Amino acid sequence: MVETLLEVRNLSKTFRYRTGWFHRQTVEAVKPLSFTLRERQTLAIIGENGSGKSTLAKMLAGMVEPSTGELLIDDRPLAFGDYSFRSQKIRMIFQDPSTSLNPRQRISQILDFPLRLNTDLEPEARQKQIIETLRMVGLLPDHVSYYPHMLAPGQKTASGPGARADPASEGHRLR
C-alpha cells in the first residue's frame, strides 16, 4: 500500500499591504491549491516568475503562514508554528546554498543545531552523527572545521540545512 506523505488542501496566501494612509492593496500570491504527494512519488511545481512557487515552498516549510487551507503530513494536520514535528519531516534545500549558510559558523555548528533541536543526543554522539552525515554526502570528517566559504558550491548544498544529520528524521526535501 502506498502511503500519503503530504496532503495540501485549498492552501492559499494573500498578502495585504498599505499603499497610502487609507488605502490597502491585496496580492493573491498563491490561489487555493490542493495536491497529494505519496510515497515514491516526485512532484514538480513549475511556473513563471511571481507565480507563487517560492511562497508555496515557504508555507510548506513553515516560514510563511497560509491565509487559508490545511496541510497534512503523514495524515497528521500540521499547524503553523509546529516546528518540532515539521522540521523532522520537511527540509528546504536552497538553489544558492551560500545564502542559507551562516558564514560565521563552521559546518559542525550548522549541522549541530538541528540535532540539538530534534534529538536527545549527547554532544559526543551528535559529533559522531555529524561526521557520519558528512561521509554520507561525500565529504570528509575534516570538513567539520570548515567555514561555508571554504567549500565548493556542491559541497555547500550537501552540508547545508537540508542535510539529514538527524538519524530519526524521515525528512522530505523541498528544492
135 with 141: CB under 8 angstroms?
A: yes
Question: Do 60 and 126 belong to one domain?
Answer: no
Question: Do 117 and 155 belong to one domain?
Answer: yes
Mean of pLDDT values over 56-64? 90
Tally of domains within the chain: 2
Question: Do 119 and 153 belong to one domain?
Answer: yes
- How do 90-92 and 172-174 pair as beta strands? parallel
**Residue 173 CB-density burial (10 A; 0-12 exposed, 13-18 middle, 19+ buried):** exposed
Mean of pLDDT values over 125-138? 91
Q: Residues near 102 by Cβ (< 8 Å), separated by ≥ 6?
A: 109, 110, 148
| Domain stops at, among 23, 48, 81 | 81
What is the DSSP code string of 143-175?
A: GGG--GGGS-HHHHHHHSTTS---TT---EEE-
Structure confidence at residue 173 as a pLDDT band (50, 70, 90): very low
Question: Do 50 and 109 belong to one domain?
Answer: no
Question: What's the pLDDT score for residue 40?
Answer: 86
The DSSP letter of residue 99 is G
Structural domain that includes position 158: 97-168
Question: What's the pLDDT score for residue 86?
Answer: 81
Nearest of 67, 69, 88 to residue 165 by alpha carbon = 88
Mean of pLDDT values over 117-121? 85
Question: Do 64 and 102 belong to one domain?
Answer: no
Q: Is the pLDDT of residue 49 over 70?
A: yes
Question: Do 124 and 150 belong to one domain?
Answer: yes
Residue pLDDT, tens place only, 68-85: 999 999 888 988 888 778
CA geometry: angle 33, 76, 54, nearest 5 deg = 35
Q: Is the pLDDT of residue 87 over 60?
A: yes
